[in-house]
Amino acid sequence: MKKLGFGLMRLPTNENGIDIAETCRLTDEFISRGFTYFDTAAPYHGGASEKAFKAAVSDRYPRAAYTVTDKLSLFMIEKKEDMQPFFDKQLEALGVDYIDIYLIHSLSARSYKKAQEFGAFEFAAEMKKQGKVKHVGFSFHDTADVLDTILTDHPEIEYVQLQINYLDWEDDAIQSRLCYETAVKHNKPIIVMEPVKGGALVDISKKAQALMKEHSPSLSVASWAIRFAASLDSVVMVLSGMSNEEQLKDNLSYMEDFVPFTEKEFNIAKECGEIIRNDITVPCTACRYCVDDCPMNIAIPEYFRLFNDINRFGLPKAIPLKNSYKDISSTRGKASDCIKCGMCESLCPQKIQITKLLEKVSETFDK
Q: Assess whether 175 and 45 both reside in one domain.
A: yes
Q: Give the model's pLDDT for residue 315.
A: 64
- Give SS3 for 338: coil
Q: Flag whether pLDDT at 263 surpasses 70.
A: yes
Look at residues 131, 132, 192, 122 and name the one whose alpha carbon lies nearest to residue 157: 122
Residues 165 and 28 in one domain: yes
Q: Which residues contact 20 (CB under 8 A, 6 or more apart)?
A: 52, 55, 56
Mean pLDDT of the region 117-141: 98
Domain co-membership, 232 together with 111 = yes
Q: What pLDDT, on the 0 to 100 scale, is given for residue 24? A: 98
Given 246, 277, 308, which residue is the final one in a domain? 277
Q: Which domain holds residue 147?
A: 4-277
Residue 286 domain flag: no
**Do 221 and 351 sit in the same domain of this protein?**
no
* 188 and 48 share one domain: yes
| pLDDT at 143 (0 to 100) | 93
pLDDT the model gives residue 218:
93
Q: Which of 85-94, 97-106, 158-167, 324-333 has the lowest mean pLDDT?
A: 324-333
Are 217 and 359 found together in one domain? no
Per-residue pLDDT of 54-75, as tens digits, reads 999 999 999 999 999 999 999 9
Q: Provide CB contacts within 8 A for 295, sequence distance 6+.
A: 339, 341, 343
The residue count of the chain comes to 367
Based on the domain organization, do 272 and 308 belong to the same domain?
A: no
φ/ψ of residue 270, rounded to 5: -70, -35
Domain C-terminal end among 277, 310, 329: 277
Determine which of 46-50, 84-88, 235-239, 310-314 has the lowest per-residue pLDDT on average. Answer: 310-314
Amino acid present at 161: Q
Domain assignment of residue 345, yes or no: yes
80 shares its domain with 158:
yes
For the chain, the domain total comes to: 2
Question: Does the pLDDT of residue 246 top 70, yes or no?
Answer: yes
Mean pLDDT for the chain overall:
94
Residue at which a domain ends, from 277, 311, 339: 277
Q: Are residues 259 and 189 in the same domain?
A: yes
Residue 342, burial from CB neighbour count under 10 angstroms (0-12, 13-18, 19+): exposed
Regarding whether 330 and 260 lie in a shared domain, the answer is: no
In a domain, 292, yes or no: no
As a whole number, mean pLDDT of residues 146-159 equals 98
**CATH code, domain with 229:** 3.20.20.100
Is position 283 within any domain?
no
Based on the domain organization, do 271 and 304 belong to the same domain?
Answer: no
H or E stretch covering 162: strand 159-163
More confident residue, 154 or 288: 154
Question: What mean pLDDT do residues 113-127 have?
Answer: 98
Task: Compute the average pLDDT of residues 35-41.
Answer: 98
Residues 6+ apart with CB under 8 A from 321: 306, 309, 310, 313
Confirm whether 293 is domain-assigned. no
pLDDT tens digits, one per residue of 206-222? 899 999 999 999 999 99
Residue at 332 is within a domain? yes
Same domain, 234 and 188: yes
Q: Is residue 29 included in any domain, yes or no? A: yes
Rounded distance, CA 49 to CA 52, Å?
Answer: 5
Q: Does residue 337 belong to any structural domain of this protein?
A: yes
